[in-house]
Structure 1
Amino acid sequence: MLNHYETVFIVTPVLSEAQVKEAVEKFKTLITENGGKIENEENWGLRKLAYPIQKKSTGFYQLLQFDAPGDLIEKLELNYRRDERVIRFLTFKLDKYAFEYSIKRKGNLKTKEEK
């Protein structure tokens, strides 16, 4: 059975847009190759951090919502730690209410983009 997960990671701001996209594709590929399915992806862009991390005050934020088996999370977080481009990450399992809310939110985002 697949669980619902959401992960947010921050990529270092010294990279170009192409390098950021390459980093995101790496993690998306890791998820799909290990039995996961990407449900939603949001690029939040360059944002100011609440506090400096590794002497950096900004970072590129990326959100991925996906369904995956539980053992994938350990592999994913290990790859986050090994990748020097990622300065922070957070992955958590969505319960059924949070998952329903994310689907409703995603629907609202699509209707706003169409307007």
Structure 2
Amino acid sequence: MNQYEVMYVIDTALEDSARTELINRFNELVVKNGGEVERVDEWGKRRLAYAINYKTEGYYVLMYIKAPVDLPRELERNLKISESVLRYLVIRYEGELPAKREMNRPVREAAEAPAASAVEAPAPAAAPAPVEAASVEAAPAEAVDEEAPVSEAE
């Protein structure tokens, strides 16, 4: 059996229970066709890089599976048929399962965090930058040497 990494983006308009049911349906499809689901990582709601079907956010799901060669085609067919799936990608990989890592915070929390830290952070003290700029501007003017005209009489 080959190892595959499957990522798909679900429409955020789907309710939580329907989204969970959809994820379970894809997991059951893998098991029913002779595969094995190694891990399912739900990344949560994230902003899309560009609008897909007029949607700007999607719910990301990453799935690692071991499956026979013909299973990815059937899984892709089901992902394509589902109207709730905005995009999907199935990749075969070799080696060990990547370690689970903590993903970035969801869109709402990430937007609130910089705003909160901006309020708490004190304003930086004014630096004497104009004084330094004046001395830097004066230095090139002094360094310019004019050459005397060379006479061609010799």
Q: TM over 0.5: same fold?
A: yes
Once the 2 structures are TM-superposed, how far is the Cα of residue 101 of structure 1 from its aligned partner? Answer: 5.5
Q: What is the alpha-carbon root mean square deviation over aligned residues?
A: 1.2
Aligned to 1:3: 2
User: Which one has the bigger strand percentage?
Assistant: 1
Once the 2 structures are TM-superposed, how far is the Cα of residue 42 of structure 1 from its aligned partner? Answer: 0.4
- 2:85 aligned with 1:89: no
User: Does the residue aligned with 1:15 lie in a helix, a strand or coil?
Assistant: coil
Aligned to 1:12: 11
> Judging changes above 3 Å, is the alpha-carbon distance between structure 1 residues 33 and 101 closer, same or farther for their aligned structure 2 residues?
closer
Structure with greater contact order relative to length (CA < 8 Å, sep ≥ 6)? 1
Question: CA–CA distance in 2 between the matches of 1:93 and 1:39?
Answer: 14
TM-score, normalization: structure 2?
0.64
Q: How many residues align?
A: 102
Question: CA–CA distance in 1 between the matches of 2:17 and 2:89?
Answer: 23
Gaps of 5+ in 1: 110-115
After TM superposition, which residue ranges in structure 1, 4 or more long, deviate above 6 angstroms? none
Query: How do residues 8-47 of structure 1 correspond to structure 2 at under 5 angstroms?
Result: 8-47=7-46
Gaps of 5+ in 2: 103-154
User: Does the residue aligned with 1:62 lie in a helix, a strand or coil?
Assistant: strand
Question: CA–CA distance in 1 between the matches of 2:39 and 2:18?
Answer: 21
